[in-house]
Amino acid sequence: MLEAESGFNDAPVVMMVLALSHAVASSGPTNWWEVAALAGVELVVGAAVGAALGWLGGRLLAYFADTSSALFSIAVMAVCVIAYAAATLLHTSGFIAVYLAGLVLGNMALPHRQAIKGFSAAVGWLAQIGLFVLLGLLATPSELLRWVGPAFFVGLVLLLVARPLSILVSLTPFRVAWRDQIFLSWAGLRGAVPVVLATVPVTSGAPQLGWLFDLVFVLVVIFTLVQGPTLPWVARRLGLLDADATRDLTVELTPLDRLDADILTIQVGPDSRIAGVEVFELRLPRGASVTLIVRGDRSFVPERGTVLRHGDQLLVVTPSKRRAQTEDRLRAVSEAGRMAGWTSPPDQRADQRPARVVPTGRRPGAGAGAGSGGGAGAGAFTPMSRTEQARASRPIPPGDSRDRGVGRDGGAGRDGGAGRDGGAGRDGGAGDARGRDDARDRGDRQPPLN
């Protein structure tokens, strides 16, 4: 309610100050009924212009939801500026127009809401800082001290008499609780708007009103320092703070920073080899996980066996200290698929790929194991296929040498022989590294390893 009062009050107060300043500066009579009627028309038309442009702008911005959040925030701000400009060109109230345009946009289901709020807050604070700097340049410190007493007296009258009476008259017909009325009475006389309005009589040429700016400046500074820190205490004393009030769930960067975590948004492109990979096959670093998948018009929480597809958007939460590892792992899977980390990149030369060593003798067949997984030739480097590497990476129970062919002194296949000090092949049995003993030529076979 306090924010609504502050927003809606500015427009009529600006008109009233302008009318009074013009009346004081001019020597002719003023038709106040005409001024009141003109102010009413400008407020109504300005409100209609602002609401209409805010709604139209919001509907138009909804079509550009996929754009950058920074550009989207600027576009929302541009709609408000257009609303003010359009109302001013129509000779209506631009203040009420921009306020209602922002109010309508803020209540629409626009994307990038947190980015919009952050950008708007930053622009608002920047504007206030610039405004106070300019107002400070207009003030003369030596002239301000003599207005401390009069400003304090006028402020007490406004705070204890004028504002409570205005609140009572305007809100009692709407059956507003007395606690709310007391709080609204105490929460006045703050902000830069009164100081800005105090410059209007001076700039309009009203005679002998230069002192008004100094008086209002001191008054606002004093009561901002007095009222600002006491507002939470007054609200608690009046019982206006609801500890159990529900709020919409919002996701901010601050809580994530406190948790030392980051959120990554991953888009699976048309050429990405992540498509077809199951979530558990991503093998993300410890603590990182895929928390949400957006697929087409629906979103869902993935399971370990969920298969990723082209066009999916992944929401990945990762500890901050493992963010780089998570990004590297996702890029690797996107380039090499589910075998990323087990195989070399496809553009690498064959002699740089993982290889296996298979023993051979000095003559054909020398030293080759005769088992079903028999090896072939010592010292030869043969690139492994992806299927062989996948098989080689599987754990093998103790004693099972059907694929490995590992012997105690020489490698042995399931039925393959072994020579003295023979080397071991990856998938087959092995003979003597120098080819001196040929198990198959001699015909003697060793029993299979258990």
> Which whole number is the average pLDDT over 334-355?
60
Residue 348 lies in a domain: no
Are 229 and 259 members of one domain? no
pLDDT bracket for residue 255 (50, 70, 90): low
Percentage of residues of the chain with pLDDT beyond 90 = 26
- Both 304 and 233 in one domain: the answer is no
Q: What's the average model confidence in pLDDT over 214-237?
A: 87
- Asked whether residue 51 is assigned to any structural domain, the reply reads yes
- 258 pLDDT band, cuts 50/70/90, is low
Residues 327 and 360 in one domain: no
* Number of residues written out for the chain: 450
Residues 80-101: tens digit of each pLDDT: 999 999 999 999 999 999 999 9
Q: Using CA atoms, how far apart are residues 164 and 144, in angstroms rounded to an integer?
A: 28
Q: What is the mean pLDDT of the chain?
A: 75
Tens-place pLDDT, residues 102-140: 999 999 988 888 889 889 999 999 998 998 888 888 888
Same domain, 325 and 193: no
Q: 243: which 2 tokens? A: 């500890």
Domain count, the chain: 3
Domain assignment present for residue 169? The answer is: yes
What pLDDT score was predicted for residue 446?
42
| 76, 31: one domain | yes
- Does 248 fall in a domain? no
Distance of CA 32 to the CA centre of its chain: 52
State whether 380 and 425 are in the same domain.
Answer: yes
The pLDDT-based confidence of 362 (bands split at 50, 70, 90) is: very low
372 and 412 in a common domain: yes
Taking 50 as the threshold, does the pLDDT of residue 199 lie above it? yes
Q: Report whether pLDDT(320) > 70.
A: yes
CB atoms under 10 Å from CB of 15, counted, come to 20
Residue 231 sits in the same domain as residue 285: no
Residue 219 CA, distance from chain mean position: 41
pLDDT tens per residue, range 39-59? 999 999 999 999 999 999 999
The tokens describing 79, both together, are 């709609």
H-assigned helices in 238-291: 253-258
Contacts with 30 (C-beta within 8 Å, 6 or more apart), sequence order: 19, 22, 23
CA distance 417 to 69: 69
Q: State the angle between helix axes of 211-237 and 148-157 in degrees (0 to 180), rounded to the nearest 10.
A: 50
Choosing from 339, 365, 393, the residue where a domain stops is 339
Domain end among 237, 269, 287 = 237
Q: Does 244 map to a domain? A: no
Give dist(CA 71, CA 119) in Å, integer: 10
- 243 in a structural domain: no
Per-residue pLDDT at 254 exceeds 70: no
Is pLDDT larger for residue 121 or for residue 400?
A: 121
More confident residue, 389 or 400: 389
Structural domain includes residue 345: no
359 in the same domain as 330:
no
Place of tokens 């390893």: 449
Of 307, 339, 371, the residue at which a domain comes to its end is 339
Q: Crossing angle of helices 178-186/163-171, nearest 10°?
A: 140
* 8 Å CB contact between 189 and 223: yes
Asked, for residue 153, whether it belongs to a domain, the answer is yes
Binning pLDDT at 50, 70 and 90, where does residue 242 land? low
Span 65-91, average pLDDT: 91
CA distance 142 to 146: 8
309 lies in the same domain as 170: no
pLDDT of res. 300: 94
Q: Same domain for 291 and 423?
A: no
User: Is the pTM value of this prediction over 0.75?
Assistant: no
Residue 326 has a CB neighbour count (10 Å cut-off) of 22
User: Are residues 299 and 375 located together in one domain of the fold?
Assistant: no
Per the structure, the complete domain to which residue 441 belongs is given by: 353-450
pLDDT value for 174: 85
Instruction: Give all strands of the β-sheet with 298-300 in edge-to-edge order.
Output: 261-267, 313-319, 289-295, 298-300
Give the model's pLDDT for residue 32.
84
